[in-house]
Amino acid sequence: MQPRFLGRVDYAPTYEAMQAFTVARTADTPDELWVCEHPPVFTQGLAGREDHLLAPGDIPVVKTNRGGQVTYHGPGQVVVYPLIDLQRAGYFVKEYVYRIEEAVIRTLAHFGVTGHRVAHAPGIYVRLDAPSSHALLAQRPQKKVPGALAADPDFTGLGKIAALGIKVSRHCTYHGVALNVAMNLQPFWRINPCGYAGLQTVDLSTIGIAVSWDEAAQVLSQKLQATLSP
């Protein structure tokens, strides 16, 4: 997998470039990992509802073909787009999502933070009162009880620190994951993040972790290369 550090790039042309790369690739095309940062932008997934855009104001909104609802990208956030042939890698979409989340959890652990999964809510979350606590969440994914209905996600005491949105076309992935490092978090209050009203969004800076964008980008890209390997 070849990492490409793109720097700060506009969202729309990067999205178009991912699509073009995926359409043009062949069975022999090496996988790539695009690492970047975007100017302020809201992006809507395929299922995105307009009522989750509360007050976008002067920040542009771009509709995309990824999964999920609305999220925000901006300076101080590491965005990584894995462009992977899943058929060649030898695993399916569900495991792909799990591996991306695992890379984020390992990245946070590198900086002394414990990342958590929440049942029925893709992405990674941290305890607001104890970001380094290893105590298991009651809200964590657990084995499904036959006949039981899926409960709504419970974000009590949690902040979302990484969002995930993917697209798979002809077994090949694009879009990806965003890790909040040191951002202006105010724009997240202009939306229902990932479609959840009142969901608090945090970054590493907010929970007391001082790390540069470059260092976070290097660590996350290394962890993704390791977890996404065939």
Q: Give catalytic residues, as residue numbers.
A: 194
Query: Which residue is it, tokens 């929440």?
Result: 118
Contact 45, 80 (CB under 8 A): no
Q: In what order do the strands lie in the sheet with 158-169?
A: 2-8, 32-37, 77-83, 172-180, 158-169, 121-127, 116-118
Residue count of the chain, please give it.
230
Helix, coil or strand: residue 169:
strand
Contact 42, 54 (CB under 8 A): no
How many Å apart are CA 228 and CA 97, to the nearest integer? 10
Q: Which residues have CB under 8 Å from 41's CB, separation 6+?
A: 11, 59, 60, 61, 62, 72, 73, 74
Helix, coil or strand: residue 152:
coil
Residue 194 is classified by DSSP as G
**Burial bucket for residue 129 (CB in 10 Å: 0-12, 13-18, 19+):** exposed
